[in-house]
Amino acid sequence: MPGSPAEVLLDGGTAVMVKRGDAPGAVRAEVAGLRWLAAADAVRVPAVLGHDEHWMVSERVPAGQPGPAAALRFGRALAALHAAGAPHFGAPPPGGPEEAYIGLAPMRNAPGADWPRWYAEHRVLPYVRGAVDRGTLSPAEAAVFERVCDRLPDLAGPAEPPARLHGDLWNGNVLWGADGEVRLIDPAAHGGHRETDLAMLELFGCPHLERVLAGYEEAAPTAGGRRERVGMHQLFPLLVHAVLFGRGYAERALAAARDALAR
């Protein structure tokens, strides 16, 4: 959701986090996402204490240091979150809007039964078009992503049921608590493929990532060949970043797309 949280001290001395969302539906999307993740009783999230159309107040979680034991527990809990499932690919959280956000970028939660087709239509091509409109990608470069989308049924690996995704699972949204437990913040929650969350977690690095992935694989092993599919799943966040932040991310997305086509 657009906007950065600020710590506020309430009367009586309780510290809370307050966040403003200026875009229509942004607060409702984040609140619905946090509550949907919490309902899985898997990875912990800060409690939502109150909200309206423009403001959200949530629990303040004292920060701690990442550790290998917490990372292993986080991996197991993330597997349980994904296993809680979703009604379909593209499913918004209950009460959440179809027109949502990933960071500052619009993100449409539209239903789909077939993951490769849904991923192409709603998580790759809209941001390719956005990058072309901004001059960040050329039409010829856009065609590279179109070729990947055409091949997604062959590249996607075995079919899986819709997973309950955080949806914006980069390291900045992983809060290592002082109590030794991880909380997830700022979700772009929806039904999707579980490997997308894992790929996003790898995109910008994460403390003790090997332990996180070990815990995940212990709890819910991924299909063979996951390593070869990481770049394909990273196309979504890389293209979002290309739309928001420019050419450097477009080049990374192109490299991932070309690598996928070479397989």
Tell me: pLDDT of 2 over 70: no
Which of the four pLDDT bands, split at 50, 70 and 90, describes residue 12? confident
Question: Is residue 199 in some structural domain?
Answer: yes
Domain membership of residue 177 (yes or no) is yes
Would you say residue 235 lies in a domain? yes
**For 100, what's the count of Cα atoms within 13 Å in the CB-facing half-sphere?**
29
Alpha helices (runs of H) in the chain, residue ranges in sequence order: 26-39, 68-83, 115-119, 125-133, 139-155, 194-203, 209-219, 226-245, 247-261
DSSP per-residue string spanning 86-116 = -SSBTPPPTT--SEEEETTEEEE---BSSHH
Antiparallel, parallel or unpaired: β 99-102 and 48-51? unpaired
The model's pTM is 0.94
d(CA 205, CA 162): 25
**Residue 119 is assigned to a structural domain of this protein:** yes
CA distance 188 to 236: 12
Whether 76 is in a domain gets the answer: yes
The residue segments making up the domain with residue 119 are 62-261
For residue range 163-203, list pLDDT tens digits in order: 999 999 999 999 999 999 999 999 999 999 999 999 999 99
- Greater confidence (54 vs 138) lies with 138
Kindly state whether residue 121 falls inside one of the protein's structural domains: yes
Under 8 Å between Cβ of 97 and 22: no
| Within a domain: 37 | no
CATH code of residue 144: 3.90.1200.10
Reported as a single tens digit per residue, the pLDDT across 70-125 is 999 999 999 999 999 999 999 999 999 999 999 889 999 999 999 999 999 999 99
CA distance 224 to 220: 12
Residue 206 lies in a domain: yes
Domain count, the chain: 1
The Cα–Cα gap between 10 and 7 comes to 10
How many alpha carbons lie under 13 Å from residue 254 in its C-beta half-sphere? 18
Task: Tell me the backbone φ, ψ of residue 125, rounded to 5 degrees.
Answer: -65, -35
